[in-house]
Amino acid sequence: MRRIAHFINGSSHEHGAREGQVWNPSHGEVQAHVGFGDRDTLQQAVDAALAVQPEWAATNPQRRARVMFKFKELVEANMDQLAEMLSAEHGKVIADAKGDVQRGLEVIEFCCGIPHALKGEYTQGAGPGIDVYSMRQPLGIGAGITPFNFPAMIPMWMFGPAIACGNAFILKPSERDPSVPVRLAELMKEAGLPDGILNVVHGDKEMVDAILDHPDIKGVSFVGSSDIAQYIYSRGVAAGKRVQAFGGAKNHGIVLPDADLDQVVNDLTGAAFGSAGERCMALPVVVPVGDDTADALRAKLVPAIDKLKVGVSNDPEAHYGPVVNEAHKKRVEDYIALCEQEGGELVVDGRGFTLQGHEKGFFVGPTLFDHVKPEFRSYQEEIFGPVLQIVRADSFEEAVRLPSEHPYGNGVAIFTRNGHAAREFAARVQVGMVGVNVPIPVPVAYHTFGGWKRSGFGDTNQHGMEGVKFWTRIKTVTQRWPDGSAAGDHKDAFVIPTMG
């Protein structure tokens, strides 16, 4: 059976005694084993990074950008292979897998402009004969701990800016679908990245803790569940690291009475059920304002859901595929049972879905609830599956309040033709990313991604200029070049300098 090894210093490294199983979610069968590293494995990666990072940092930004340009070309040339690898391990359909890769590449495209992004500031004559300038310098070694649901996009969101800024990087991908991250590292090497700058190590909590504790790793980026994000942030910061840790989500879609319901239904079915709901930017809660709006929306949603096709990951006709593994399937179905027990009206039940010829696959059919209440635990917590909950609001004020008071604050969308209402909502809602008639408001790569409340821990977001800021430290230089004339009264040296 295929074995997935670490990628350290430009080559494969065999794993230790412990290992994990990599499943094919469509077939419900183990397709590979991935070796779990330990602190010694991590030390090999750190040693490789330490040996080459200073020279990489000294490489001018334009040359680093050329590596990013070449990497982009190689990923595009290998798009089909990457999408097939990703689909086979994650379960998302091929078209969605290509979108996963493409959204990561958009951050790489931003990184191709790193010479401009790293420019500092300069003030001539800040004081008598004094100039002040700033520069951005890399942290040294960064690390990324990435989730299973975007095995191409999120690693590129992390290692792209970090490496472009002059850092070395150690990636710990999800053990559930690790093949694509390793392949991306191989393509970076092929693009001209020096060995040791990008290393991939596999493992579970033991490897995560080793990363958080290692004194030579200066910055850590994480995406995953909120409880683990809080743990990563707390432990990493306690060890003196710079940490950004992004957690779960319960994104809301607000539907005002004037919204185009046909468009809303089209957007909702994709945003709620695409990728089997395994997206932190999925839209699992819809909030129609007024019972008339809710009834009309429900009447259009049910037939649209009935038309959705659930299939194996390589079925070009399927709208979405299986969830990632059997444990996650059980988790989603347990939440469906919980919401029903809490009093939610189960309109469409996706439990017990099977696909002929793939009876062992980890499939969950699309599920719809109505009359869900804010006090339900199934509403408060992230389900991360193909489950859409309707929470009816009586007014615009209640529609603003629901996502604002929710423990998560990742994304929210409002559907309306009223520009004033949309502007008011965007200004007042307490959520990090807002879409106006856009169901999945992931910002473009040259802006920045990040949620509020339990969706994000740390002060700096991912990609865009926020990513550049996270992976660099700013240094400010104040300089004077004396002209040889008399220095004046030496007592002036005992007074704190001013520019007055």
Cα angle: 314, vertex 348, 340; to 5 degrees: 120
Whether 91 and 26 have beta carbons less than 8 Å apart is answered as: yes
The dihedral built from the CA positions of residue 96, 443, 159 and 6, taken in this order, carries a sign that is negative
How far is the first Cα of the chain from the last one, in angstroms, to the nearest whole number?
Answer: 73
pLDDT of residue 482: 84
Catalytically active residues, by annotation = 280
pLDDT of residue 478: 96
Name the nearest CA neighbour of 146 among 86, 95, 234.
86
Kindly list the structural domains of the chain, giving each domain's residue range(s) and its CATH number in brackets, ordered by start.
2-247+455-477 (3.40.605.10), 252-436 (3.40.309.10)
Q: Count the neighbouring beta carbons within 10 Å of the beta carbon of residue 189.
A: 19
pLDDT of residue 489: 60
94-111 vs 61-77: helix crossing angle, rounded to 10: 170
- Give strand pairing partners of 254: 287, 414
| 70 contact partners, CB below 8 Å, separation of at least 6 | 190, 191, 192
The per-residue pLDDT for range 286-329, each reduced to its tens digit, is 999 999 999 999 999 999 999 999 999 999 999 999 999 999 99
130-138 and 122-127 beta bridge pairing: antiparallel
| 43 contact partners, CB below 8 Å, separation of at least 6 | 214
| 330 contact partners, CB below 8 Å, separation of at least 6 | none
Whether 211 and 217 have beta carbons less than 8 Å apart is answered as: yes
Tokens of 204: 């579970």
What are the backbone angles phi and psi of residue 232, rounded to the nearest 5°? Answer: -60, -45
| Residue whose pair of structure tokens reads 């008598």 in the numeric block | 128
- Give strand ranges (E) for 80-205: 122-127, 130-138, 141-145, 168-172, 198-200
The kind and range of the H/E element at 217 are none
| Ranges of the chain whose pLDDT falls below 50 | none
Q: CA-to-CA distance for 213 and 56, rounded, in angstroms?
A: 24
How far from 345 is each of 101, 355, 388, 401, CA to CA, in Å?
Answer: 37, 26, 12, 23
pLDDT of residue 1: 85
pLDDT of residue 496: 72
| Residue whose pair of structure tokens reads 């990245």 in the numeric block | 193
SS (H, E, C) 437-457: CCCCCCCCCCCCECCEECCEE
Quick one: how far is CA 314 from the chain centroid? Answer: 24
Q: CA-to-CA distance for 372 and 477, rounded, in angstroms?
A: 58
3-state secondary structure of 127: strand
Q: CA-to-CA distance for 229 and 155, rounded, in angstroms?
A: 16
Q: Count the neighbouring beta carbons within 10 Å of the beta carbon of residue 121.
A: 10
Q: Count the neighbouring beta carbons within 10 Å of the beta carbon of residue 308.
A: 18
pLDDT of residue 360: 96
Name the nearest CA neighbour of 126 among 490, 475, 477.
477
Whether 272 and 249 have beta carbons less than 8 Å apart is answered as: no
